[in-house]
């Protein structure tokens, strides 16, 4: 009996040793896995507001032996790079102050325009522009990045105001949209030479204003509206050089607006189908070739959102143009619903923007189908009843999708 107990005890000890070795190996695997997962998360989501908190997490991981010193330095550099690319509240306030100062200077000059000799007017405008660019460069070399960007923005705004004032003084030919294009070109050139992301974003905003004024017939739309595509391509390349993510997002939204203008003024079905096809192609690239798509366009993981929006807008134009053909409308609706489901499955887990874009597209498609297929069949009572049932179904479906995504893994904003 004693011998049997000894044999059993030895087996238990051996089993306990095996369990301890397995647990130790699991902990080691976890330690090796944590840095890789965190590197990806940091590369995609770190911003300036979280830099200090994440820095403390890195110190804690380093002290706990989860990462080594080399990896900690890489993570800190990555966080610093992302923090420099973000815009803080203080920077925004500084930019607003810069615009107000520039507006005050231009108003002062304009109010005393006739009292200033003509050479003095031109010299004063050039002095403001030169002082802004030189002062911004000096401020940035001393580490005052926000102040430097603000001074550069003052110089760019003074350049735009100077175009209008000098054009009025010398009675130069041209309209306001031509002045906007000239202002955009000068600001973009300054951003390229100085390597300023702020000036590049300002140039993109000016280009969007030019497109918007032309699109809504504010000053009369002409054939030069098609200049947006090549101008946006040039600005996109400049934004890659200067690192202006805001400019690329603005230009992408402008391309969507440009496609809408073409669809409204031309063959809506053809242009809408082209928009939908291009959107589907870009979404597929973002979903299945994310590294290649990111290296080419550098939208920091938001290409799929822009692509889905373009697809939904394009399909909307196709359906609106063929609204009288119920078969085409139903066929397009099936494509839209399938694409929305595919978008949520492929990218909805990691992107709240994708989910909300898909939900809005789903609701818009339901409303369009109701107007075209059920509107003539239902009275007021039926309308309220059907709307309540549809909204309840949509709410239930959204809740289930959110729960399944959350159960499958942590949802990233």
Backbone angles phi, psi at 174, to 5 degrees: 125, 165
Residue 377 vs residues 29, 324, 332, 380, 382: alpha-carbon distances, Å? 63, 16, 22, 10, 9
Range name among 24-28, 119-123, 139-143, 308-312 with the lowest pLDDT average: 24-28
Say if residues 34 and 66 touch (Cβ distance below 8 Å).
Answer: yes
* 224-248: b (≥16 Cβ within 10 Å) or e: ebebbeebbeebbebbeebbbbbbb
Q: Is the pLDDT of residue 26 over 90?
A: no
Angstrom CA distances, 251 to 96, 274, 291, stand at 22, 19, 21
Contact indicator for 53, 18 with CB cutoff of 8 Å: no
How far apart (Å, rounded) are the C-alpha atoms in residues 103 and 100? 5
For the cut 90, the answer to whether the pLDDT of residue 111 exceeds it is: no
pLDDT of residue 365: 86
What would the DSSP string read from start to end of 18-56?
HHHHHHHHHHHHHHHHHHHHHHHHHHHH--GGGHHHHHH
Q: 70: pLDDT confidence band, cut at 50, 70 and 90?
A: confident
Describe the crossing of helices 197-215 and 245-265 by its angle, rounded to 10 degrees.
10
pLDDT at 371 over 70: yes
* CA Rg value for the chain: 29
Task: Round to whole Å and give the CA distance between 386 and 396.
Answer: 15
Distance CA 152, CA 132 (A): 5
Whether the per-residue pLDDT at 103 is higher than 60: the answer is yes
Quick check: 48 pLDDT over 50? no
Q: Provide the mean pLDDT of the chain.
A: 77
pLDDT of residue 412 exceeding 60: no
Q: Does the reported pTM lie above 0.75?
A: no
Query: Alpha helix locations (H) across 46-68?
Result: 51-63
Tokens of 6: 């000894």
Residue 334's pLDDT is 86
* Comparison of pLDDT for 47 and 312, the residue scoring more: 312
C-alpha distances in Å from residue 100, one per residue of 94, 104, 208, 309, 322: 10, 6, 21, 35, 49
The residue ranking higher by pLDDT, 170 or 243, is 243
SS (H, E, C) 253-291: HHHHHHHHHHHHHCCHHHHHHHHHHHHHHHHHHHHHCHH
CA nearest neighbour of 306 among 244, 252, 377, 251: 252
pLDDT confidence band for 305 (50 / 70 / 90): very high
Report the pLDDT averaged over residues 51-60.
73
- Reduced to 3 states (helix: H, G, I; strand: E, B; else coil), residue 375 is coil
Whether the per-residue pLDDT at 36 is higher than 50: the answer is: no
């Amino acid at each position: 009996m004693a011998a049997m107990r000894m044999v059993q005890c030895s087996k238990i000890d051996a089993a306990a040793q095996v369990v301890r070795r397995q647990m130790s190996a699991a902990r080691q695997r976890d330690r090796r896995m944590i840095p890789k997962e965190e590197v990806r998360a940091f590369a995609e989501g770190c911003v300036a507001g979280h830099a200090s908190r994440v820095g403390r997490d890195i110190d804690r991981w380093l002290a706990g032996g989860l990462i080594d010193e080399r990896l900690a330095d890489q993570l800190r550099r990555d966080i610093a790079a992302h923090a420099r690319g973000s815009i803080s509240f203080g920077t925004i306030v500084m930019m607003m102050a810069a615009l107000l100062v520039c507006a005050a200077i231009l108003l002062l000059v304009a109010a005393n325009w006739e009292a200033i000799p003509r050479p003095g007017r031109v010299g004063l405008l050039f002095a403001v522009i030169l002082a802004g660019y030189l002062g911004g460069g000096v401020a940035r070399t001393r580490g005052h990045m926000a102040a430097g960007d603000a001074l550069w923005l003052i110089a760019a705004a003074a350049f735009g105001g100077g175009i209008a004032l000098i054009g009025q003084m010398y009675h130069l030919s041209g309209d306001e949209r031509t002045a906007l294009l000239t202002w955009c070109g000068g600001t973009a050139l300054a951003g390229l030479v100085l390597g300023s992301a702020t000036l590049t974003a300002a140039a993109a905003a000016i280009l969007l204003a030019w497109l918007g004024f032309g699109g809504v017939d504010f000053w009369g739309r002409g054939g030069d509206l098609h200049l947006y595509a090549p101008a946006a391509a040039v600005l996109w390349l400049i934004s890659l050089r200067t690192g202006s993510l805001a400019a690329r997002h603005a230009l992408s939204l402008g391309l969507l607006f440009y496609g809408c203008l073409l669809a409204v003024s031309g063959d809506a079905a053809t242009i809408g189908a082209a928009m939908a096809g291009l959107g589907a192609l870009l979404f597929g690239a973002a979903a299945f070739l994310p590294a290649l798509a990111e290296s080419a366009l550098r939208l920091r993981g938001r290409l799929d959102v822009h692509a889905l929006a373009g697809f939904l807008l394009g399909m909307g134009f196709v359906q609106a143009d063929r609204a009288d053909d119920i078969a085409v409308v139903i066929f397009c609706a099936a494509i839209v619903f399938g694409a929305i489901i595919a978008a949520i499955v492929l990218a909805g887990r990691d992107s709240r923007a994708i989910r909300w874009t898909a939900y809005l597209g789903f609701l818009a498609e339901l409303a369009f189908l109701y107007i075209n297929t059920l509107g003539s069949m239902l009275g007021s009572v039926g309308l309220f009843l059907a709307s309540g049932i549809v909204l309840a179904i949509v709410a239930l479906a959204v809740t289930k999708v959110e729960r399944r995504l959350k159960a499958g893994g942590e949802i990233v904003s």
